[in-house]
Amino acid sequence: MSEKLHNIKILLSEFYVVFLLVMAWLFFGIFAPGFLSFRNIFGIITFSVILLAASLAQNVVVLTGGFDLTVGSIISLVTCVLSVLMVYSVIGSIIVAILLGVLIGFVNGFCAARLKIDPFLVTLSVMFLIDGIDLILRPAPGGWIDKTFANALLLNIGGLNVGSIIAFLALTIFCVVLLEKRHFGRLIYAVGGAEDRAILRGINTQKVKMLAYVLSCLLCTFGGLYMAAYVQIGDATIGSPILFASIAAVLLGGTSVSGGTGRALNTVAATLIISSITNFLFYIRVIEWWKYVFNGALLIVVASVYYWIERRREK
């Protein structure tokens, strides 16, 4: 019996963010009646799909010890590309978007892993590049997104976006399985945790890191498709808030910023926490600006947690 209890304790400590999520929901439920309704929770999950794609993408890259500042810009890019090209060909424009995603991922990965340039700076430069291209494609928000495409992705049944839930689950399952149960995923942890040792072991660390960046961009492209389905236009700046939120989600989810540790499920939970906060603040009619104070305070809390963890480690 104590073995089972012991295992539960370990699970709880590994996935403490899920625990945090539950606590947050209970807390919100008390202060905002109606928060815990099926409709609302469903809405939160639907709303989070895009952020989840970006956060999981960011998580993969951060696990390798890197950083991806292009996550938001890729989402914007996908909406812009689709909004311009869908008039010509729906399928074609989707293919172009995906190819662009792979290309950008490759560029990021090549510069960061092969040329060994600081990932923060590489993705910062590429982000500038993509933002510029977005503005050329779509100087102002607009364009046209095919409705059949949007409906197929969202799959609205009885007022609920079932398609989004499916996407949410698909993303979660895909990333969790990849990172925990596939060789590539374990290699990401190894390379991120101790790259020089991985090299000594004969692991092709550059290939692993490059693929991580490509994967990140592909996940963001997927998120971008959903963004296009949601807003039904192209917008060069729509992805910017998502970058910031993806970083927050990854940090809140306990992924170590130096690489090597952090569970995907925690990132998923952290994403939901962040979405829930926005939803909750909206629910209790808080003025938009307090969101900033809240987020700032949240980050300070995260900082304190860091301190506490650091102190415990030193003992």
Select from 35-43, 83-91, 150-158, 236-244 the region that touches another protein (CB under 8 A).
236-244
* Residue 115 engages another protein in binding (rule: CB under 8 A): yes
Among 9, 39, 147, 201, which residue interacts with another protein (rule: CB under 8 A)? 201
Rounded Cα–Cα distance for residues 275 and 131 (Å): 25
Among 13, 38, 88, 136, which residue interacts with another protein (rule: CB under 8 A)? 136
| β partners of residue 142 | 234
* Residue 282 engages another protein in binding (rule: CB under 8 A): no
Among 65, 86, 147, 231, which residue interacts with another protein (rule: CB under 8 A)? 65
Among 187, 188, 219, 249, which residue interacts with another protein (rule: CB under 8 A)? 187
The least CB distance from residue 16 to another protein, in Å, is 17
Among 132, 140, 142, 282, which residue interacts with another protein (rule: CB under 8 A)? 132
The least CB distance from residue 102 to another protein, in Å, is 18
* Residue 170 engages another protein in binding (rule: CB under 8 A): no
Rounded Cα–Cα distance for residues 226 and 163 (Å): 10
The least CB distance from residue 24 to another protein, in Å, is 19
Count other C-beta atoms under 10 Å from residue 23's C-beta: 11
Structure tokens given for 180: 């925990």
Map tokens 């498709």 to a residue.
225
Site for another protein in 246-275 (CB under 8 A): 247, 251, 256-261
Rounded Cα–Cα distance for residues 221 and 260 (Å): 25
What single-letter DSSP state applies at residue 157? E
* Residue 104 engages another protein in binding (rule: CB under 8 A): no
Select from 32-40, 220-228, 277-285, 286-294 the region that touches another protein (CB under 8 A).
286-294
Contact 229, 150 (CB under 8 A): yes
* Residue 297 engages another protein in binding (rule: CB under 8 A): yes
| β partners of residue 38 | none
Between 33 and 312, name the residue whose CB sits nearer to another protein.
312
Give the per-residue contact string, 13-52, with another protein (x = CB under 8 A; - = no).
----------------------------------------
DSSP per residue, 217-256:
HHHHHHHHHHHHHHH-SB-TTTTHHHHHHHHHHHHHTT--
Rounded Cα–Cα distance for residues 296 and 288 (Å): 14
Site for another protein in 139-158 (CB under 8 A): 139
| Extended strands (E) in the chain | 156-157, 160-161
| β partners of residue 157 | 160
Among 21, 53, 198, 281, which residue interacts with another protein (rule: CB under 8 A)? 198
Rounded Cα–Cα distance for residues 221 and 213 (Å): 12
Contact 77, 130 (CB under 8 A): yes
Structure tokens given for 296: 């700032």
Between 129 and 231, name the residue whose CB sits nearer to another protein.
129
Between 89 and 258, name the residue whose CB sits nearer to another protein.
258
Between 284 and 297, name the residue whose CB sits nearer to another protein.
297
